[in-house]
Structure 1
Amino acid sequence: MDKKPDHTGYWRTNLKYLLILLSIWFLVSYGFGILLKDTLDNISLGGFKLGFWFAQQGSIYVFVILIFVYVRLMNKLDQKYGYREK
């Protein structure tokens, strides 16, 4: 007989991943781009102030990277719980 997948564990882990990744994105976009902007502006990145860079570009780059991280984590989670594409 097929083993019934643990849906509760799967979704609990999925929500944990989402919370962690969205917290990172919030920290980078809101924290670095708005709250810590003045402090980060003392550092230069490619001729631009780092606070400005995070507000304009950095949060977008981090978001795209987090999408790839999420896909990788979910593929591993799917394998762990026995889900597969049909």
Structure 2
Amino acid sequence: MGFKNDNDKQAYWRTTVLLLLKLLVIWFVVSFGCGILLVDQLNQFQLFGFKLGFWFSQQGAIYCFVLLIFYYVYAMNKIDQRFGVDEE
């Protein structure tokens, strides 16, 4: 169990950082983009009786963040298995 060489360590680190950066970009777009920058355009639509821009700034960003956490756990388990450093 563990890394065989330094190249495996670097590849693992690069893969995990890339995953984290992708998830942070998604979170930024949803929370800042949809909740602040695009709020006027999104307010033209409604979701559950609320303007969509308001919904994203109050609820949608939180739901997206929680979903990203669950996806992060799933993806990290897959990455750990691929590099042979999983807990099982």
Find the counterpart in structure 2 of residue 49 from structure 1. Answer: 51
Q: CA RMSD in A?
A: 1.5
What is the rounded CA distance, in whole Å, between the counterparts of 2:58 and 2:22 in structure 1?
22
Question: Which structure 1 residue ranges, 5 or more long, are not aligned?
Answer: none
Q: 1:32 to 1:3 in 2, by over 3 A?
A: closer
Question: Which structure 2 residue ranges, 5 or more long, are not aligned?
Answer: none
CA distances 1:12-61 after superposition (whole Å, capped 9, x unpaired): 00000000000000000000000000000000001100000000000000
Q: Which has the higher contact order (CA 8 A, sep 6+)?
A: 2
Find the counterpart in structure 1 of residue 4 from structure 2. Answer: 4
The size of the alignment, in residue pairs, is 85
Find the counterpart in structure 2 of residue 71 from structure 1. Answer: 73
Which of residues 23, 26, 36 in structure 2 aligns to 1:24? Answer: 26
TM-score of the superposition, structure 2-length normalised? Answer: 0.91
TM-score of the superposition, structure 1-length normalised? Answer: 0.93
What is the rounded CA distance, in whole Å, between the counterparts of 2:34 and 2:55 in structure 1?
9
Tell me the percent identity.
59
